[in-house]
Structure 1
């Protein structure tokens, strides 16, 4: 009688398939992709498009919080007029945002 119970117990304790162990990890990767990585890549692409479309006369905000008007655009640098007789040379990719026309004037 004990032999029958022992044989029945070993069949019930079979291990789950190996792919089932990887399912939670794959699920977390998919969640991270759609909630974190993909939106960040989209924001980065939008920022690169903004920076590449900079032109003279645009009002910008740097990532450091300085607000000014673009005076000259070079390949990697932008010259920004912060106030009367105050001009700063900034790396192009440190531009945080472009203020749309009709926004708060930077130098007035």
Structure 2
């Protein structure tokens, strides 16, 4: 009799295999994949597509908010960059991917 290792229990011949049924295992993996696709992958792709459309549609004269919270008016649009007029004649250059939202016209004047 060992103190750390318990005695083995007797097994009958009718006991199920230790791995379980492979069909149930495959159904569980399939269900997990469907869950991840519906609740993680699909919404993320939708957000990426919306953000890509937003960055492609920004034009000169639009009032925008950047991810940092900076408000500005678009002065110049390049393939990968935006130049914003932030007030008092200061112009800052940002990457397009840092764009958060396009604001309605006149928003900066109201603030």
* Pairwise same-fold verdict (TM > 0.5): yes
What RMSD in Å do the two structures reach over aligned CA positions? 2.0
User: Any runs of at least 4 consecutive aligned residues in structure 1 with deviations exceeding 4 A, and if so which?
Assistant: none
1:14 is displaced (CA, Å) by 4.1
Aligned twin of 1:41: 45
Q: TM-score, normalised by structure 1?
A: 0.79
* Cα distance, 1:85–1:99 mapped onto 2, change above 3 Å: same
**In 2 relative to 1, CA 106–90 (structure 1 residues): closer, same or farther, beyond 3 Å?**
farther
Unaligned 5+ residue runs, structure 2?
1-11
- Within the candidate set 86, 102, 105, 1:82 is matched to 86
Shift of 1:28: 1.6
- Give the structure with the larger helix fraction: 1
Are 1:57 and 2:61 matched, yes or no? yes
